[in-house]
Amino acid sequence: MTTIRRWMHDRPRWMWVAAGLVVLALVAATVVAVTGEGDDKTEVAGDEPAASTTTSTSTTVATTTTMAPTTTDSPAATTTTRPAPTTTPAPGPVPGAVAVVRAGPGGGSGEIMVEWEAVAGATGYRVLRSEAAGGPYAVIADYDVATGHATTTEEGIYVGSPTGTSYYQYVEYGEARVRWFQVVAYNAAGDAPPSAAVSGSPP
């Protein structure tokens, strides 16, 4: 009976002891559990297959590279073809002087007419006029054989070749006075010497 009373008196102490034992038991269980897990991990790690060691032999393949020879680009040779020099054919000979020339009154009042025969090789004729026999003479008309066109320095002058004839005429309309004339044949090569001077006056 005394023992029971003592136990009852010491019960709080025993309760704390019992609680401590329970705590220790729980701690021990936890340690065991943790240790078991660690062992499992160790075992798992132990169960992993050992890493295999592979010995590989490296094979070197010799490669032969053929390099094309290096060439330096050089400009292509340029051939310059020069055009042949343009040559102008030498002109033919200068035509001869007008040999046949006549002067006199024209068909109408106040007309003076000059006529001359064609000269071989002439492409045109110039008519020169002067107020005196010894000159000076000046060009009064120019006639182009190819075109039949006459250029004159004053009005009232006709120059041409009558149809169906081989001669040329110069006719001027003006004052009733005596004048002297010369005719010069020409072509691309130059002028022929002037013809002899002839005089003409209106009727």
Same domain (yes/no): 108, 29? no
Tell me the CATH number at 172: 2.60.40.10
Same domain (yes/no): 27, 111? no
Same domain (yes/no): 106, 190? yes
Same domain (yes/no): 109, 195? yes
Q: What is the mean pLDDT of residues 37-50?
A: 45
Same domain (yes/no): 30, 105? no
Same domain (yes/no): 107, 26? no
More confident residue, 187 or 80: 187
Q: What is the mean pLDDT of the chain?
A: 76
Same domain (yes/no): 22, 109? no
Between CA 37 and CA 44 the distance in angstroms is 10
More confident residue, 16 or 138: 138
Position 72 in a domain: no
Between CA 92 and CA 90 the distance in angstroms is 6
Q: Is the pLDDT of residue 35 over 60?
A: no
Q: Write down the pLDDT at residue 139.
A: 97
**Domain span including residue 25:** 2-35
Q: Write down the pLDDT at residue 126.
A: 98
Same domain (yes/no): 113, 22? no
Encode pLDDT of 92-135 as tens digits.
Answer: 799 999 999 999 988 777 799 999 999 999 999 999 999 998 99
* Domain total in the chain: 2
Encode pLDDT of 148-189 as tens digits.
Answer: 999 999 999 999 998 888 899 999 987 778 999 999 999 999
Q: Please give the share of the chain, as a percent, with pLDDT higher than 90.
A: 42
Same domain (yes/no): 18, 106? no
Q: Write down the pLDDT at residue 55.
A: 44
Q: Write down the pLDDT at residue 201.
A: 84
Position 146 in a domain: yes
Position 159 in a domain: yes
